[in-house]
Amino acid sequence: MATLPITKRGAVLLKAELHKLKTVDRPWVINAIAEARAQGDLSENAEYEVAKDRQGFIEGRIQEVEGKLSACQIIDPVELHAEGRVVFGATVRLQDEESGKEVTYQIVGEDEADIKLGLINIGSPIARALIGKSEGDTADVQAPGGVRHYEVVAVSYV
């Protein structure tokens, strides 16, 4: 499996999710299955089927998160020395050359991405267009409405 880049914050969030899955969700679903079994005939017991489905989901998610954590490369943006270039973990302030509107994004891993929080996936078109750029450079991004041009106003590593 290839290494997956993830920020330090993203690794903490994944570890917290794994802890919750193992210490809260798994025991809850085991209890729900036991209660459903106590009700008698399992062939027509909807609660039992729902609990078993939920158990399958939880166990699958535990395996997925453990796999990601074992394959991840944790990158702390504060420790980056990229000499002002846009790299994974960098926070980038952009100005849309057409509208003049400014936006700020941090380039993060797939599991961390949340556009509402300004966190964009390293695999997104805008992140791919920004990688390697420096302050003052222009990035051309293929958007659904056509090509957008952004000027890189500032790059920071926080």
Q: What is the CATH number of the domain that holds 116?
A: 3.10.50.30
User: What's the pLDDT at 69?
Assistant: 94
pLDDT tens profile 115-137: 999 999 999 999 999 999 999 99
Answer yes or no: do 107 and 144 share one domain: yes
Answer yes or no: do 82 and 151 share one domain: yes
- Into how many domains does the chain fold? 2
Is the distance from CB of 104 to CB of 93 less than 8 angstroms? yes
Range(s) of the domain holding residue 36: 4-74
The tokens for 148 are 């957008």
Going by pLDDT thresholds of 50, 70 and 90, the confidence category of residue 1 is low
Answer yes or no: do 84 and 138 share one domain: yes
Burial class (CB in 10 A: 0-12, 13-18, 19+), 6: buried
Does the pLDDT value for residue 36 go beyond 90? no
Answer yes or no: do 19 and 51 share one domain: yes
Burial 91-108 (b: 16+ CB within 10 A, else e): bbbbbeeeeeeeeebbbb
Answer yes or no: do 110 and 138 share one domain: yes
Answer yes or no: do 87 and 44 share one domain: no
Does the pLDDT value for residue 23 go beyond 70? yes
Mean pLDDT to the nearest integer, 69-77? 93
Answer yes or no: do 81 and 152 share one domain: yes
Last residue of a domain, one of 15, 46, 74: 74
Answer yes or no: do 22 and 92 share one domain: no
116: amino acid identity, one letter = K
Last residue of a domain, one of 21, 52, 74: 74
Does the pLDDT value for residue 104 go beyond 70? yes
130: amino acid identity, one letter = L
Answer yes or no: do 56 and 81 share one domain: no
Please count the other Cβ atoms lying within 10 Å of the Cβ belonging to residue 21: 19
Answer yes or no: do 68 and 95 share one domain: no
User: What's the pLDDT at 81?
Assistant: 80
Answer yes or no: do 137 and 81 share one domain: yes
Answer yes or no: do 87 and 144 share one domain: yes
Burial class (CB in 10 A: 0-12, 13-18, 19+), 8: middle
129: alpha, beta or left, given left = phi > 0 and alpha = psi -120 to 50? alpha
Does the pLDDT value for residue 41 go beyond 80? no
